[in-house]
Chain A
Amino acid sequence: MPIANSKDMKTDIILAGVGGQGILSIATALGAAVLLENLYLKQAETHGMSQRGGAVVSHLRISEKPIASDLIPHGGADLILSVEPMEALRYLPFLKENGYLVTNTNPFVNIPDYPGIDAVMSEIRNLPHFVAIDADQIAREVGNARTSNMVMLGAASPFIHIEFSKIEAGIRSTFERKGEAIVSMNLQALHAGRQFAEANK
């Protein structure tokens, strides 16, 4: 389903994770890409109390037309991009019928009643469209576990209506003050994630 080539340049993304996992770094890189593309963007973030290890979500809306609501309506998201598998499932009411769920497979267990990971993964595998990726492992292979969020962005990139080169440029502009080595490592992570998604979507 090559939705990235669709003519309607609009992507509604639910970004999910746990406070402290840094989901906003994904939003920042995408935001930079959006500005380069001269598209409209609205990005609702979770700040405050939930950042202390609670469930956090960001609604990221990208369009070539002005965007009304800061929040994505139920059944309206093209993509759920989650850096944690159980958190991916929490936002299913937002996903469109033919929407994609892209999630990291590594659970973040900071609650006593976290369900069995096999049960979580089987719920994910029951979905019509998903990419389940061990982004931590791929990030380590790239050279730094801290790039796992960029692996995730890469894995989601086939489903986002922004030219891939602009996402690369977004990463470049987000990390450039940290030096070329960091930029290139994050780009490598992005590519590795994209490659995985292309092969496993």
Chain B
Amino acid sequence: MQKYLLLGAEAIGQGAIDGGLSAVYAYPGTPSTEITEYIQGSPIAAERHIHSKWSANEKTAYEAALGMSYTGKRSLVCMKHVGLNVAADAFMNSAVTGIHGGLILAVADDPSMHSSQNEQDSRYYAGFAMVPVLEPSNQQEAYDMAYEGFELSERTGLPVMLRITTRLAHSRSGIVRRELNAQRELKLPNDLRQFILLPAIARRRYNELLDKQPELKELANQSIYNQYVEGKDRSLGIICCGIAINYLNECYAESVCPYPLVKLSQYPLPEKMLNRLNEESDEILVIEEGFPLVEELLRGFFDNGARIHGRLDGRLPRAGELNTDHVGKALGLEPRQGMTVPGIIANRPPAMCQGCGHIDAYEAMNEAMAKYGKGHVFSDIGCYTLGALPPYEAINSCVDMGASITMAKGASDGGLFPSVAMIGDSTFAHSGMTALLDAVNEHAPITVVISDNESVSMTGGQDSSAEGKIEDICKGLGVDQNHIRVIVPLKKNHAEMVQIFKEELEYPGVSVIIPRRECLQRATRRKRNLSRE
């Protein structure tokens, strides 16, 4: 049996392809990026003309996937957890419209915030929308769930969330593939009003969604991914969500877990299985990667104290990703200790690459801004966020995609002058354009720096959807073209760049400065690929 060594994220890509995928839509975001990149590199996907180009943001991606589903074809939409905030409007309403062709939302959460600004748990969104969730415990299940997820979606008529976290997304293991499914033919929905959420139709669809809930619970009860495992010692019953089962099994690698347990990988919660665990055990330990969602549900409002353990009562840490050591401690097992880290070891945080254009932009900006003092620069999500660290310490915010421009506008409304936004080209295309329109419409005295490295760099150099269009977009939104200033951020242009900053900072309207130089990492990759051809 041939095995393929795939990351959890890649396994989802392969599972979806083999499951009969017609299109993937996504915006890059760690730890979800590799799902789409894998499909982009797949020869079968190319042969089958599976759509895999990047979308401008997660909302446009989700809507396109829903449109693909409308045609009866199977689609996958991928994003990181905070990307689902951007796509939430489409996602929530797609639960009400329902789907036609199978639709899987693969969302990758990032507990411990390895590359994110929060560690929100996407399972809450699925509960909010009332759609099923599949949460694989390993790479093979990630493959299988993507493969079968389309059937679950079509059977229930709902989008299905496939939720993973960083550890599974970025860990590799051998997977076995299944038979390649045929792609679906173009076919309109039977009810051409299905997707029209006018109140009268929406009420009916919403009631249908509510009516489906018992079936979803029953599917979870019967799911092969949810398992009840007997245990002799009934002083404790354990619930392991997703990859938590691996840490439990690691704790008992040389023995057998004495407690009854539920391996939980499909939601809504399988009531029968959990009721049985409740009846058969004195206390319950919930081990979940992410927020204490299951624990909170089981504990209920009138918390009766000791029976339920997990992240809320301190048995497990409230924040951060799980590991074997945390789980072992929660089970009262003897901890294993290695050596301690010597005191001389220094932290090594990420940094902008030597020679990066963002650095030249920051150096010019800092010099021009010096006379106004600190605290005037709002920034955004991307490599340039690292400008917050020494030696630059050039920015004062990083909140969500596109927030730099709108926060600068709001601060300017509040009297801050100058008020500056520092945003990358791809982030601008993702969520900065509407923000810029707001600023233009009110003639807000802000300076927007679009540091353009012609790439989505933090996630590995994907294509930026605004490449070659940024000046035109700014002009189209109404920025005075005399105040759209483009410069190559290089040491030799430093004086000129400082001068441009000084001029535009004093301009009492919206000005845009575009330092433009290709990302070094991307340039290196491009040259390497050219030399290979």
Contact = CB atoms under 8 A, between A and B. Distances in A.
Interface string B243-257: 100111110010000
B172 A52 contact: no
Contacts, number: 157
15 contacts: A35-B5, A40-B173, A45-B171, A47-B170, A48-B459, A49-B115, A51-B460, A52-B458, A68-B253, A70-B167, A70-B171, A73-B328, A74-B337, A76-B336, A120-B344
Interface string B129-168: 0000000000000000000000000000000000000011
Given A43-B171, A54-B350, A86-B345, A68 B249 contact: yes
Interface in A36-61: 40-55, 59
Contacts of B371: none
B31 A48 contact: yes
B218 interface: no
A90 interface: yes
A110 interface: yes
Nearest to A126: B342
Contact of A18 (B31, B167, B323, B348): B348
Interface stretch (A92-100, A158-166, A192-200): A92-100
Contact of A93 (B115, B248, B341, B349): B341
B346 A113 contact: yes
Nearest to A110: B351
A52 B339 contact: no
Interface string A79-116: 00000001101101111100000000000001111111
B225 to A, nearest CB: 17
Nearest to A124: B342
Given A49-B350, A71-B323, A110-B351, A44 B167 contact: yes
Nearest to A31: B5
A45 B341 CA distance: 21
Counting chain B CB atoms within 10 Å of each CB, which of A44, A73, A94 scores highest?
A73
Nearest to B346: A113
Nearest to B115: A48
Given A35-B174, A41-B174, A49-B114, 5 more contacts: A48-B31, A49-B30, A71-B323, A96-B338, A110-B351
Contacts of B508: none
B385 to A, nearest CB: 9
Interface of A: 18-20, 27, 31, 34-35, 40-55, 59, 67-71, 73-77, 86-87, 89-90, 92-96, 110-116, 119-120, 123, 127
Nearest to A32: B5
Interface in B293-332: 323-325, 328
Interface of B: 3, 5, 7, 30-31, 33-34, 114-115, 167-168, 170-174, 243, 246-250, 253, 323-325, 328, 335-342, 344-353, 383, 386, 390, 458-460
Contact of B352 (A34, A52, A93, A127): A52
A119 B344 contact: yes
A175 to B, nearest CB: 13
B353 A52 contact: yes
Contact of A54 (B243, B250, B348): B348
A17 to B, nearest CB: 10
Name the residue among A54, A70, A75 with the largest chain B CB count within 10 angstroms.
A70
A43 B170 CA distance: 8
A90 B344 contact: no
Contacts of B170: 44-47
Contacts of A54: 348-351
Contacts of A20: 353
Nearest to A44: B171
B339 A92 contact: yes
Nearest to A52: B350
A75 B337 contact: yes
Contacts of A53: 348, 350-351, 353
A71 B339 CA distance: 17
A59 to B, nearest CB: 8
Contact of B338 (A46, A49, A94, A113): A94
Contacts of B114: 46, 48-50
A77 B325 CA distance: 13
B173 A42 contact: yes
Contacts of A114: 346
Nearest to B5: A31
Contact of A31 (B172, B324, B338, B347): B172
A52 B342 CA distance: 24
A173 to B, nearest CB: 12
Contacts of A42: 171-173
B250 A41 contact: no
